[in-house]
Structures are given as C-alpha cells and as structure tokens.
A and B are shown apart, each in its own frame.
Chain A
C-alpha cells in the first residue's frame, strides 16, 4: 500500500497549521538562542585560552589561583535559573497543548498495524486520512487494536502515543485549510514506515458538506449539538440494546444502574480519587471494569458484568457516542 503523502518541497522549517504550533516554536527558538549562546561562550573560551596559552606562546602565565568559589557559584546558579525559567515556560505551554477544551469536537482514532482508522461521531469512517474543520478545537480519542502507535502531525507540533486497552487524547485547533503529514511516531513493526497518512483541514462549511456527503453517515446530532443548536439526541445505538445496557440503565422506574442522561461531562464523587470527570476514558473503563469506580449510592461490588473481550473498539465508540448524545437531557436523580 503506498501512502498518500502531501507533496512538499525542500525546507528547513516545518509548516505551521495549528493554534498551538507558534507557542511550541517560540520555546524552541528560545532554546536555539540558548544553545547558540552557550556554544559560542564555550567556543570563545576554548579558542581564546587555546590560542593565548598554546605551548610556545610568550605570555604571562599567572599561577595564582583565587580561592573564592565565586566562579563555581556563578556557573551553578546561572544555568540553574535559566533551566528553571525554561522549565516553567515549557510546562505552561505543555499544559495548554495537552488539556483539551471542554467544547472540543471528539473524533475517534483506532490504530492498528499498519493503518489509522478514523471514526467520526456521525458515522463517517476514513482510513489513513483525517478530515477536520479549521477554527474549531478537535479532540482525538485514540486507542490501538494491537501494539503502541503514536499519532503525530508535525504541522500541529503535537503527538500522542496510541495505546492498546485505553484511550489517550490529542487535541488541536487547525488554523488553515490544507493537507498535512500524518506519521506514526512509535515503532510498531514491519511496515511502521508506511503507517503514514494525511490530515485534511477544510473550512467549516466544506467540512459539513464532506461529513454529510457520506452515504453511511447518520444524522449528525452530535456535531449540531456541539455547534450550539440544541437538538434532541437522535443517535440510535443497536449495541446499547444488543448488550442489554437498556435493561438496567434506562426505562425502568427503579433502575438497577445509574441513569445515563446528562452523565457525560459531570464530575462525580469517586471514593478512590476524590472525584472523576465522566469522559470517554471513564465510560470505557466503566464498561470494561464496572467495579473500577462505583457511582455514589450504589453498592460495591457492582452487579454489572464486565464487557471486556465481548465488545470491539467500534461498538465501544458507538456506546460512548450514544451516552454522550444523552448529555443534554437532564440528569435524573437515580438513587435507589
């Protein structure tokens, strides 16, 4: 399988196409300046002393060595303060780059040897391509079906490892329409080098057209609720019925399990961590390991069976999207 690389010419600086990229470039440029400063300083010392005190040079060689540790203190404290400043700066930029905004549009990515599969909430799927709108924060919810991969878009200056058995997140806001490289950065076996693809950034209008053009796409209740137009959830989930989720989580007047309406995005009390925000990872874990976090008011151990090894990644995405589609409904008081 040949990859569809976006065509590019020779360059010494990577193109930049996300809101976060300039922040990372600035830290990098500062570090380049720091490197240049110290390289020139060491070079000047080596050259200066090296020429002045070369064997045979007629120069006064003073053997008095000053006892003051001032020099040592200077070159311990100076680098320490510089290091501290760059650490803080890097940490602040990192926190911005890794903490997705709450309103970000979720798109699912499943890595497997050796391709990227993308699942949009409306149902549209892609392989080795990711279409996104510009000017809107995107949160990739990623997992792997086999080994560790790493989703890397150089133009966005961001990457995140994609792990089997759990979700990791990568967020960005693309700034300009275009086509950008997508690489797998973590070595994943024979065709790791060919696990390449492209990210296609479109204007929001083009993106909506693209999303709707797919015949398999369901009505995109998700994306419209994300854009602020309140729509009743219309996503239907066959898996929700097939796995019997509705037996306990819906409909009955005295449900055996917590209600799911309005659940997504809530902060819930969690005996082991104080509190937990219900996000994709939380839902995934609750489905695979129901005893990991017990909702307040319910007895441990949970009566819910584990769905590990019964549910595939795409059914998991379907369930999570279904539960998310219930988020605008009011949360029911469901204490028994």
Chain B
C-alpha cells in the first residue's frame, strides 16, 4: 500500500488547529470527536470500575457487611449498565473507529461530520441521564432489566436509566450509519474492498449490528416505560403480559451487542499482529468474511440466554446449534493470527503484548461459551459465576485488552507522543496476571453453584472469592498505570515521526498527529494491505494467497 501526498510544508496538526473550547465542542473533525469520546468513556470506565471495586470488596466475606443488599444490587447495576453501554459499546468503534476509519480508507472525514458530532452529544446526554439515575438513588434491576421486576416491582430510578440508554442508542445508530456510508462512498482511488484493512471490515460488520439491533433495544426500553408508567400489560402476567417476551426482545439486541464489543477488538488485533510480526496477515479473506459471519450468526443465537426460562425444546435445539456455529469463525481468526506469526520477525512491544493477551483470553472466553451453548451444562451453570467469568474473558480479557492494545498502538499517531515502553510492558503483563487471578476462580465458583448478583454466599465459597478480590485489586492497579504514563506523555511536545512502528496502512502515511484534513490530496492505493517488508526474510518471494 502506498500513499501519495507526503507533506512538503508543515501544516498545523488537528490538535494544534484550535485551542478554544468552542474548537473542541463544536468540532466537525472526526479525530477531535474521537478525543471527546476518549475522554468521556475513560471517565465512565472509572465510574463502572469503582462499582466493581466495591463489589469485590463486599464479596471478600460471605456476609453482606460492607454494604447492604440494596446497595450491592445498585452497584452491580451501575457496573453493568455503565460498562456495557457507556464504555464497551462505544470504546473501539467510537474512539479508534472515529479516528481511524477515514484515515485508513484515505478520506478526509466521515461522510456526515455533523451527525458524528450529534452522536457524541446524544451519547453524553444519555450518559448524564444514566449518572443522574445513579445519583437519584440508583437502579436495582441489573443491566438486563428483566420483567416484571423492572416494570412492576423495582422501586428505583428505572425510567431515567432506561431513558439514558435509549438516547445513547441513537448515538450508536448514527455512528454505525456514518461508518457504513463512509466505507461505501469515500474510499480512496484504488482502495477496493479486499484492500481494506481488516479493522475496517470488522468496524463495518459492527456498524451493521449497530444499525439493525439497536432499534430493537430502543423499542424494548420504550415498552418497559409504557408498562411501568401507564400500567399497560406487555410483560407482567398480572396485567396480561408475557415476561419471557421481554427476554426475547432484550437478547435480540444484547447478544449481537456482545459482537459489537468483540468484533472491533478482533479488528484491532488483526492490525497489531502483522505489524509486530513484520509479516503479511495470513488468510486475509477468511478473517474478513469471518467478521461478517459472526455479525450475521450473532443475530440468530439470542435464545441461548433462555434455555432454562421456558424456551420450547425445538427452539432450544436450534439456538444451541447456531451458538456452536458462531465459535467457528472465531476459531478461524485465532488460527490465522497464529500462522501470521510464522516466518515473521516478532517484536514484543506493548501493543503486541496486549494483542497476544487478547488471543489467549479470548480463546478461553470463546471455548467456555461452548459450555453455555451445550444445553446440558447450561442447566447447571446458567446464572452462576461461570457465566460471569465467561463473558468477562470475552469483554475484559478480549475487548478491553484489545482496546488498550489499540490505544498503545495508535497513541503516537493520535497524540504525536511516545509513552514509556517499560511501563507499557509492565502494565500489560500486570493486567494479564490480575485479570486471570480475578476471573479464573469464578469459573470454579460457578460450577460449584455460586449464583450471580448476590452480596451473600455460603461460607465454603470464601477462599475462591478472596482470590478473585485479590486479583481485582491487581487488575485495578493495572488500569491506573497506563492512565498515569499515557497522560504524562502529553507533557512533552509531539516528537514522533509519521510511522514509528514501520506499519503499513494509509494512516501511517500522515504526520503524527495528522493535519486537520488528513491528506492534502487523495492517496492512491496500488496494492494489498499488510505488505510488510520482513527485514530478515529470505529472498524467495511468491504471490500471497488472497
């Protein structure tokens, strides 16, 4: 991949293009909007993280002694709602996606810059409503809002929280639409579909989910409001409704939402691995199409959340089989990343450690998903800590590891600064260790029968809970370390060249940080992506298997 348009005259970077508050809060530059998202989701992450810290402290003893059950129920609801809707879902798409999609395809901005800014305002409005709901006494329904508890019985701020999620959902829809239109219409000359970086493929697949699934969540939240406020019977059987209907609607969105979190993470890893292996990605088309396969199949597996909720036998069988099938495109990706290492020249820098950490933890998370898809084992482990451990391996071990890997990988591009490499390596290893100590014992706890969402548990579960809480304190520290050294790196002026990692991709042809309009003239693409020059390769060359 080559770029035309290297800069002759130094132009101000997008960061130096304006210093006023107005230049930030009314910006139409996709890169500045990405920074707005970065700052806001980091704040939300520490809100959700603080709730998790309090939960793990409470769970160090079998009794509810630090907080009451009522407070604990609010803590896990804060943790779930904030982390899912106000951190994980916007994390890679809205921060890295916003920053990188135009740069990677050779465009000057997204297709609809004003809609992009509106997305951020909707996100913040939703987020502030959610925080308002927490301040107004909290919500105690769990992030899943199961009916009829949420509509008839819960005595907490359900409506403001649901309204916040409803509004932020429009941010997802607009962002997804923006990415889809941008990828279709604004690719640089020569940037064919099969020359797109795999991050674009996965972001595109994610955008389809944003646009198709989020409206169902919005409708479901409206129905909760209609039943809760006006007493119209939709989900509560005492009003003539069906409580399981809610679960169908909720998981029709919320299972694909898992892929909203993990597909972009896979895209990030597909960028980092070939760069630090100095090697072409293996099986480009298989990785690209597996993203699409995951997005499509992800819409057809929601019933696996309901195997013990009264789903009919036939429905259970179909949903179980389809859930097993989702594992296959995921496995395809993992194997292709592994073979990409072969014959490479591997540099173990911070982003690569995060990417390898992702592969390991995602593999465990994906394989433990099979336990839940297999109908028999789900009877036992459903709604236990096994499920908690499984989805944290996917969402934290997977999505958050990849997000941090991406932040470290593109940090020089985004800010023009480098961070301390030893601290980066230290925190990546600390994170991996702390994560496993936190969540591995929870698999065991789940099979022993410890159920989720409890502040109290039988005393024989204490040893494993103490291990998990100890791991959580290490994990918390491992999140604070990058916050410190990345922030500190901003003190010095930008000093990084345009391509510090020797990476391919159009974004690395722009200065670090890029100028406001990315490219002075549209770059022309003449070859496939990931054309890494392997510095130690032997000379024999042959065309790559597309």
Contacts and interface: CB of A to CB of B under 8 A. Distances in A.
B203 interface: no
A89 B374 CA distance: 8
A90 B360 contact: no
Contact of A164 (B243, B277, B367): B243
B380 A24 contact: yes
Contact of B237 (A10, A43, A154, A165): A165
A193 interface: yes
A45 B273 CA distance: 14
A72 B332 contact: yes
A5 interface: yes
B57 interface: no
A102 interface: no
Given A31-B377, A46-B338, A188-B149, A8 B277 contact: no
Contact of B379 (A31, A159, A189, A194): A159
Contact of B244 (A54, A90, A91, A163): A163
A27 B375 CA distance: 10
A72 B283 contact: yes
B360 A46 contact: yes
B324 A53 contact: no
A174 interface: no
B313 A146 contact: no
Contacts of A165: 237-238, 243
Nearest to A62: B343
A53 B453 contact: no
Contact of B460 (A11, A69, A86, A147): A11
B356 interface: yes
B343 A61 contact: yes
Interface in A11-30: 11-14, 23-24, 27-28
Nearest to B384: A185
A158 interface: yes
Contact of B376 (A35, A55, A93): A93
B453 A161 contact: no
Interface in B270-312: 277-278, 280, 282-283, 286, 307-310
Contacts of A242: none
B460 A9 contact: yes
A91 B321 CA distance: 9
Given A42-B334, A83-B325, A164 B148 contact: yes
Contact of B453 (A55, A94, A97, A187): A187
Nearest to B348: A54
Contact of A90 (B237, B331, B343, B376): B376
A49 B545 contact: no
Given A55-B346, A62-B540, A152 B332 contact: no
Nearest to B154: A189
A181 interface: yes
Given A87-B373, A94-B379, A164-B237, A49 B338 contact: yes
Interface in A177-213: 181, 183-194, 196
A196 B379 CA distance: 18
A86 to B, nearest CB: 6
Contact of A166 (B237, B359, B454): B237
Given A8-B458, A181-B449, A185-B384, A147 B345 contact: no
15 contacts: A13-B447, A14-B449, A27-B377, A45-B339, A60-B538, A65-B544, A79-B327, A80-B325, A148-B148, A157-B380, A163-B243, A165-B237, A183-B449, A189-B153, A193-B455
Given A150-B308, A164-B237, A187-B144, 9 more contacts: A34-B370, A35-B368, A53-B342, A61-B537, A71-B283, A83-B327, A159-B383, A164-B148, A185-B383
Interface of B: 64, 69-70, 72-73, 140, 142, 144, 146, 148-149, 152-154, 236-238, 243-244, 277-278, 280, 282-283, 286, 307-310, 313, 316-317, 320-321, 324-325, 327-328, 331-332, 334-336, 338-339, 341-348, 356, 359-360, 363-364, 367-368, 370-371, 373-380, 382-384, 444, 447-449, 451-460, 463, 534, 536-542, 544-545
Q: Which 7 A-B pairs have the closest CB atoms?
A: A154-B449, A165-B237, A90-B374, A94-B375, A193-B454, A93-B376, A49-B341
